[in-house]
Amino acid sequence: MKKVIISLALGTFGLGMAEFGIMGVLTELATDVGISIPAAGHMISYYALGVVIGAPIVAIFSSRFSLKHVLLFLVMLCVIGNALFTLSSSYFMLALGRLVSGFPHGAFFGVGAIILTKVARPGKVTAAVAGMISGMTIANLIGIPVGTYLSHEFSWRYTFLLIAVFNLAVIVSIIFWVPDLRDEATTRLSEQFHFLKSSAPWCIFAATMFGNAGVFAWFSYIKPQMMYVTGFSENAMPFIMMLVGLGMVLGNILSGKLSRWFTPLRIAIITDFVIVLALIMIFLLAWNKAAALTFAFISCAGLFALSAPLQILLLQNAKGGEMLGAAGGQIAFNLGSAVGAFCGGLMLTAGFDWNYVALPAALLSLSAMSSLLLYRQVMSRTAEGAR
């Protein structure tokens, strides 16, 4: 089982590099291609759009093929999309490359989770899924700083060439380490959508989308903010990206530790509140290096501290449609990336300074917390009605 988890973690590492690596190369990408930084930020949105399109399609049709073959198809799309992005020079081709790169993202998590439920021992499934997700957090700690360094020292194209080559290694690991399994669920396709009739999962989807949008509205433009407002040199950016990546890793670990004493809902609500405060402080104190780094660390830690609680809440409210629920969660997460990057870009288009992107970011995170409070109210009413 360990080799299966490692293989899937390598896959999420590559996905994390592709999704978050763009933040560290925005300025170089914009200069090289001859577009504005907000226009370069649209590449974040195109990746998210690929996730939104790809996740439900694969979720619906994956039963026709073995799960291993679906994984191989998804990772091959990662290779093609990142290679296309690397070799493109026009806005259209760059957007197409990002769209193709994002297509496999949500489906990979859903298919990977189903595989782990089949190979993991009873009581070990949650830990196995956490192991798979750890690849993405490690990507933020190690992979993205390396990509930022390559972009600064050589070219942003080297970063995405590295991602494409790395995914070839992921394909090899899947071939040798992942067993050939099929999803043998007997639930009819129409029945898999029944959980969506309840308002509860929609509240979780909203919390996931707004929570990610809040952090991404600021995080999408972290490099120019740290350089042009806070005053860090470009040479410092790989270390800053490593710091926020460490925050993501520790946030994920802390969330797991807190789950021993608190419910997933309480952890998620408190985390969203902390993120709101951190983003407000980034807006107010972005000029101060110590404060900017501290609250950047807290915001990114909060982003991945939300991951496990929201996934648990979603699974609890997607009975009979777990695959679609997992895909829907990834759609909401990446739709949040698109909404966040767009909202942050609006502040820049309007002529505000880089730290002003933290204002819509805080508002979006507040909306995430409000969605969770609404979910709590919905569940309370449901419990009262069942008595």
Residue 187 included in any domain: no
Q: How many domains would you assign to the chain? A: 2
Say whether both 165 and 239 belong to one domain: no
Q: Determine the structural domain holding residue 262 and report its residue range.
A: 197-381
User: Phi-psi bin for 18: left (phi > 0), alpha (psi -120 to 50), beta?
Assistant: alpha
CA dihedral over 211, 202, 12, 58, signed as positive or negative: negative
Measure Cα distances from 66 to 23, 242, 256 in Å.
Answer: 35, 37, 32
Is 13 or 386 the better-scoring residue by pLDDT? 13
Please indicate, yes or no, if residue 219 is contained in any of the structural domains: yes
Mean pLDDT: which of 20-34, 79-93, 335-349 is highest?
A: 79-93
pLDDT of residue 184: 58
If asked whether residues 272 and 132 sit together in one domain, one would say no
Mean pLDDT of 218-234: 86
Is 156 a member of any domain? yes
Above 90 in pLDDT, residue 297?
A: yes
- Residue 350 contacts by C-beta under 8 Å, 6 or more apart in sequence? none
For residue 76, pLDDT over 90 is answered with yes
211, 310 in Cβ contact below 8 A?
yes
pLDDT > 70 fraction of the chain, expressed in percent and rounded: 91
pLDDT class for 351, splitting at 50, 70, 90?
confident
Mean pLDDT of the chain: 84
Supply the pLDDT for residue 45.
Answer: 79
Pick the more confident residue, 75 or 149.
Answer: 75
| 184 within some domain | no
Q: Is residue 274 part of a domain?
A: yes
HEC string of 264-328 equals: HHHHHHHHHHHHHHHHHHHHHHCCCHHHHHHHHHHHHHHHHHCHHHHHHHHHHCCCCCHHHHHHH
pLDDT interval class at 232 (50, 70, 90): confident
Q: Which amino acid is at 1?
A: M
Q: Is 106 among the domain residues? A: yes
Compute the average pLDDT of residues 95-116. 87
Per-residue confidence (pLDDT) for residue 317, from 0 to 100: 76
User: C-alpha distances in angstroms, 282 versus 66, 144, 199, 293, 298?
Assistant: 47, 22, 34, 9, 10
DSSP 120: S
Which of the residue ranges 94-108, 213-227, 230-244, 306-320 would you say has the lowest mean pLDDT? 306-320
- 105 vs 93: CA distance, rounded Å: 19
Q: What is the CATH number of the domain that holds 170?
A: 1.20.1250.20
pLDDT tops 80 at residue 30: yes
Q: For tokens 């990002």, what's the residue?
A: 98
Whether 152 is covered by a domain: the verdict is yes
Average pLDDT over every residue of 244-261: 80
The pLDDT-based confidence of 355 (bands split at 50, 70, 90) is: confident
**340 and 206, same domain (yes or no):** yes
The answer as to whether 160 is a domain residue is yes
Clarify whether residues 149 and 6 are in a common domain: yes
Q: Give the residue from 177, 208, 226 where a domain finishes.
A: 177
